[in-house]
Amino acid sequence: MIRKPVAAGRFYPSAEKTLREQVATYLRKVSPIKDKIFGVLAPHAGYPYSGSTAGESLSHLANIDFNTVFVLAAAHTVYVDGAALIKKGFYQTPLGKCQIDEDATGELLRRSSLFEDVPHAHEDEHSIEVLLPFIQCIKENFKIVPLVLNTSNVDTLVEIGKNVAACMKTRKAVICVSSDLSHYPPANVAEKADMAVLESLKIAMRNGDIPYFHLANELIKEKAKYNMHTTACGQAAISAAASACLELGANHFEILKYTHSGKVSKDDSNVVGYGAGLFVKSSGELRAFELTEGMKKELLYYARRSIEYYLKNKKAITFELSENYRFNVPAAVFVTLKVNGNLRGCIGTMHPKHTLLDAVVNFAVAAAFEDPRFPSLCEKELKKTKIEISILSPMRRVNSYKEVVERKHGVYVKKGFASGTYLPQVWEHFRTREDFLRSLCAEKAGISPDAWKEKSTDIHVYTVDSFQE
């Protein structure tokens, strides 16, 4: 089978010489990076719009030793339950034919029913084809494994990624992910949403948490639902690729470039976003949230403002997507109120459910007016109140209380339907780890003071980035 080009003459030049010359303007010589690259993310729009962005990431393929490229791409034309591939044959472009790695596709088909040989899902699909000329200009001899996806089932995508990784381990292979970002919002909305999506992918990679990436897309899309068709047309492909890269050892997504179609068309009324990046194994120190002191002060300002607004209007304040894209990613947050150093309210969540900004303003109001341990805060009392915000890392289950590090870990205990947590800040009230855990079990979780010693009690630890007025 030869899959003929359908995007030539529309998305990119159909003449071989012109195509080579144009791709050459987008590819550049990049120095090898110290981090190992497992995959690249590139957009797949018309070259005048996204070619230079695609070149930013695809140029790095020149420094990778590979024989096979697993191309995971958006499926725009056919619904796919898992991942649709073409088992054998060729993908053709004006630069020649790319042979499909029949051994690799055959292995995927044997490994899982999530992979299906569905050539018609590729017939009118441009997302893979648009990237191939870049790779053909970089390397002469290589094979491809073409996969298109569009399911929203996170478990399915994680499993697809794991199978792709298992198949790659016995080959000199690399992943290319083909996806554009937001579709048709105004430029100012696209810039907030797209950078938040890329940032959430970076956090998901650092935490090994693909569902986090999906939650981010859901929250961002909900906030921009009147302006945006989708946050990323290849969200499924990105998730499966991220899962594969995690399985292979990656722990970071490095953002290389972001732009949108309005930069070319000069029409900012409805744009498509484009991002480029690398899935890598980083040896550097990685923190999930990268907040400057200025950003922390801004979040504290919003927390206080939300309480003031509620006191005046008896309802919560709401915000659109923030100008600061880091405020638009999901976060697990606690907000603590103190008066003269004494606790006056503390409410939050152990798992991300809201964007960072929404979590801060919602839990600030909840701490002021909904903590059952205290009466509602009054306006006079607010002036004496100090606000503290704690952003939580993902929880990690430990096998024994001995793994709890004093004055570093927050601890969450669960036994049956009862549970409770103490933030790391609570350590200052206890002399020993045992005293801390007894109090947590008895006073917060409502279980036996010595439940932390029992195997039937789950103990989780986490760290926090806390800051206060």
Q: Is the pLDDT of residue 308 over 80?
A: yes
Calpha distance 436→419 (Å, rounded): 15
pLDDT tens digits for 139-153? Answer: 999 999 999 999 999
Cα–Cα distance between 178 and 404 in angstroms, integer?
A: 42
Residue 430 has a CB neighbour count (10 Å cut-off) of: 17
Find the mean pLDDT for residues 231-240.
98
Average pLDDT over residues 180-204: 97
Write down all domains in the chain, each with its CATH number in brackets: 2-281 (3.40.830.10), 293-391 (3.30.700.20), 396-468 (3.30.1490.150)
* Residue 90 CB burial class (10 angstroms; 0-12, 13-18, ≥19): middle
Report the pLDDT value the prediction gives residue 67, as an integer from 0 to 100. Answer: 97
Which ranges in 88-186 belong to alpha helices (H)? 102-111, 120-123, 132-138, 154-168
| Structure tokens belonging to residue 114 | 């999530």
Confidence label for 287 from pLDDT (cuts 50, 70 and 90):
confident
The pLDDT score that the predictor gives to residue 289 is 83
415-442, pLDDT tens digit by residue?
Answer: 999 999 999 999 999 999 999 999 999 9
What does the mean pLDDT of the chain come to? 96
What is the C-alpha to C-alpha distance for residues 129 and 148, in angstroms, rounded to an integer? Answer: 11
Give the position of tokens 């953002």.
255
pLDDT one-digit tens code per residue, 10-21: 999 999 999 999
Average pLDDT of the segment spanning 405-414? 95
Two tokens at 232? 């990323």
Q: Which helix (H) or strand (E) holds 190?
A: helix 187-207
DSSP reduced 3-state for 210: helix
**What pLDDT, on the 0 to 100 scale, is given for residue 442?**
97
Q: What is the mean predicted confidence (pLDDT) over 348-361? A: 96
| pTM for this prediction | 0.93
**Beta partners for 253?**
279
How far CA 313 is from CA of 305, 310, 357, 385, in Å, comes to 12, 5, 20, 20
CA 297 and chain centroid, separation: 25
Long-range contacts of 321-324 (CB under 8 A, 24+ apart): 321/189, 321/192, 321/193, 321/196, 321/220, 321/223, 321/224, 322/192, 322/355, 322/357, 323/192, 324/295, 324/298
